[in-house]
A and B are shown apart, each in its own frame.
Chain A
């Protein structure tokens, strides 16, 4: 069953077209991540789904019903914002209860659902505090709690972790993944961070300039990118690109290889000087200057005695190499 269907959705602000021909199906229980660089229209797409912006054209269905003319509160959705957007004058309890009160739910139902959400998110001790008295992580949990109590058909998250520090971000990411497992709910999650996309998603939607570039599972996109943009966007450190004639293939095209698929190989086709080494303990990353303004990142597993200013020769597994046409599309012929 589909939880959300978008067909040919366009959105313009005045003359600026922000979303172009977006079509997408999301199955019930799926965790879908919209990912793309800043300004590519992810938040706008989410707001169109929520009903906070009207689509200029195209159709939006939630659980089978066309909702183009339905106000946000009646769409069966809940949204978590990057800036938390908690009501400053209400306590944590009232922040979570407000939507249910607006729906005129019975008092005991409201109390039960708030208690349940508070238990899941460890917010029991803070129910009587105001948002100003909470830390960033706690505020974001309250915002998530406010979404949970509504038992929506569709959860929408707009970069919920980008205001948190790195350690907290990881914890909250795991919490959201667990939440998805426990609730079995359909979730749509927007981020510009490819790590979040790779770790959370059942299905990733890569957006660029208001267009869908590719849809697929994380490993699908990683192993089989449809074009140079997707190949370069997913994976960290990102894929190396070189003119194909550097590796002895016909010119014009671009050669792509991920840092972990380069190896130190005295018989390899690429050689250059190490300019920078990052030792992370588990991995060692090195930047190798190949001359002619080209450089590649090399990722070696474990701790490696490579040093800056050393000359190295690099090889790669041809099965792991990608080639792209001048227009950026993937070229299948090796």
Chain B
């Protein structure tokens, strides 16, 4: 430890800055949570005060649970997010392994081609994607969303993971080859565990945009039985009246599943960092 880091004044300043940031980041979440437990009057009269005996009300949650199939929406969102992440990580890692491990003609060109998607937003192709999904008969299925999100997530996943896989010791992979392990075993048993922190990073980066996306669910899967949570919550936002109690309650409930997913991935991330590879 160096002097600067042990200095109590610096420590205080550092913690102060971090605490300030935490407060700023959590404040909107906090406001949503307290207001979801208030009456409509309570929300508008004093948006920043805690619910008290007079303003406390569960009306928002009751509306959300009565209207629309809220649990189906959550389930749809979870399926789409988890399956997309799984496919992004699986295919992204496999492509990254091939690019970093094998010398073949066109390796660099292929890597650049796969990374190109990072710079081109997938929404530009929305019309073509919709036509394709119509042709394939995938409109109003969860698969249409899963396919689009997987395509959207792959470029960055390949880019990040191949960088990390290049750092995995060649000797380790070669030891596996001499011991008779197949390339698949080397990939799944030796390399993947060592790039787990990078996998968790990719997962976290992809999870939030997929979970919160409104665009593609609205265009590709707006049917009642395939609505995602974000789309389902829109019914409470009208052109003329918005049911704020319901909107805030729906948002509060939507935070929970992503929070759980996030905790799972970030624990992986920390475990990966602390366990470390054996040189």
Listed in ascending order, the chain A residues whose CB lies under 8 Å from chain B are: 47, 50, 52, 71-74, 77-79, 81-89, 98-99, 102-103, 130-132, 139, 146
Contacts and interface: CB of A to CB of B under 8 A. Distances in A.
Nearest to A150: B179
Contacts of A132: 275-276, 278
Contacts of B179: 73, 98-99, 102, 146
A88 B277 contact: yes
28 contacts: A52-B177, A52-B178, A72-B178, A74-B180, A77-B178, A78-B178, A79-B175, A79-B178, A81-B174, A82-B171, A83-B172, A84-B279, A85-B169, A85-B171, A85-B172, A85-B174, A85-B175, A86-B278, A88-B193, A88-B194, A88-B275, A89-B193, A102-B180, A131-B278, A132-B276, A139-B278, A146-B175, A146-B179
A52 B177 CA distance: 8
B178 A50 contact: yes
Interface residues of B, number: 20
Contacts of B271: none
A83 B279 contact: yes
Greatest chain A CB density within 10 A among B177, B178, B190, B275 is at B178
Contact of B175 (A77, A81, A103, A130): A81
B15 interface: no
A89 B272 CA distance: 12
Interface in B147-204: 169, 171-172, 174-181, 189-190, 193-194
Given A102-B180, A146-B175, 14 more contacts: A47-B174, A52-B174, A71-B177, A72-B174, A73-B178, A83-B172, A83-B279, A84-B171, A85-B172, A86-B175, A87-B189, A88-B194, A98-B179, A99-B180
Nearest to A130: B278
Interface of B: 169, 171-172, 174-181, 189-190, 193-194, 275-279
Given A82-B171, A84-B278, A103 B180 contact: yes
Nearest to A80: B175
B177 A73 contact: yes
Contacts of A83: 169, 171-172, 279
A61 B172 CA distance: 25
B197 to A, nearest CB: 14
B233 to A, nearest CB: 43
A47 B276 CA distance: 27
A20 B171 CA distance: 24
A89 B189 contact: yes
Nearest to B185: A102
Task: Enumerate the 10 nearest inter-chain pairs by beta-carbon distance, A residue then B residue, closest first.
Answer: A73-B180, A102-B180, A85-B171, A99-B179, A81-B171, A85-B175, A88-B278, A131-B278, A85-B172, A72-B178
Contacts of B189: 87, 89
Contacts of A86: 175, 278
A132 B275 CA distance: 9
Contacts of B175: 79, 81, 85-87, 146
With a 10 A CB-CB cut-off, give which of A47, A84, A85 has the most chain B CB atoms. A85
Nearest to A100: B179
Contacts of B176: 87
A102 B178 CA distance: 11
Contacts of A131: 278
A274 to B, nearest CB: 44
A84 B171 CA distance: 8
A73 B179 CA distance: 6
B254 to A, nearest CB: 37
